[in-house]
Amino acid sequence: MENPEIIIKLTPDEALVLSDWLEQVQMTDLSRLVDDAAVWAPLHRIAGTLDKSLPGIFAPDYAERLEAARSRLRPALDDSASDEKGADA
């Protein structure tokens, strides 16, 4: 028997960055970005779930928290350079 739900696990940093991005996407014209209206419902559901799970989105230092999370998630410059060298080998 299949599980009726899909569970996605995110780190707090991943959740914060994704929540912010989804908020930005939702404030744009979704029809220009998402060509299938069926995708909107799961996008809104994910965004709503993240919003409920992240009390820090209402903190006065939200911008600093978000930038810190983005910094931690970005690959280090040394990592990307070594990845490119490895691909060339």
- pTM of the entire structure? 0.75
Residue 87 lies inside a defined structural domain of this protein: no
Tally the residues of the chain: 89
Q: Is the confidence at residue 89, as pLDDT, over 50?
A: no
Residue 20 domain-assigned (yes or no): yes
Which pair of structure tokens corresponds to residue 18? Answer: 């994704």
Give the count of domains, the chain: 1
In a domain, 4, yes or no: no
Q: Which domain holds residue 69?
A: 12-75
7 inside domain:
no
pLDDT above 60 for 34: yes
Q: Looking at the domain assignment, is residue 88 inside a domain?
A: no
CA distance 73 to 19: 14
**87 vs 42, which has greater pLDDT?**
42
Residue 85 in tokens: 């060298």
Please determine, for residue 44, whether its predicted confidence score (pLDDT) is greater than 70: yes
Domain presence at residue 39: yes
Burial of 1 (0-12, 13-18, 19+ CB in 10 A): exposed
**In contact, 10 and 49? CB cutoff 8 Å:** no
Q: Is residue 40 part of a domain?
A: yes
Question: Residue 50: CB partners within 8 Å, gap ≥ 6?
Answer: 15, 18, 19, 22
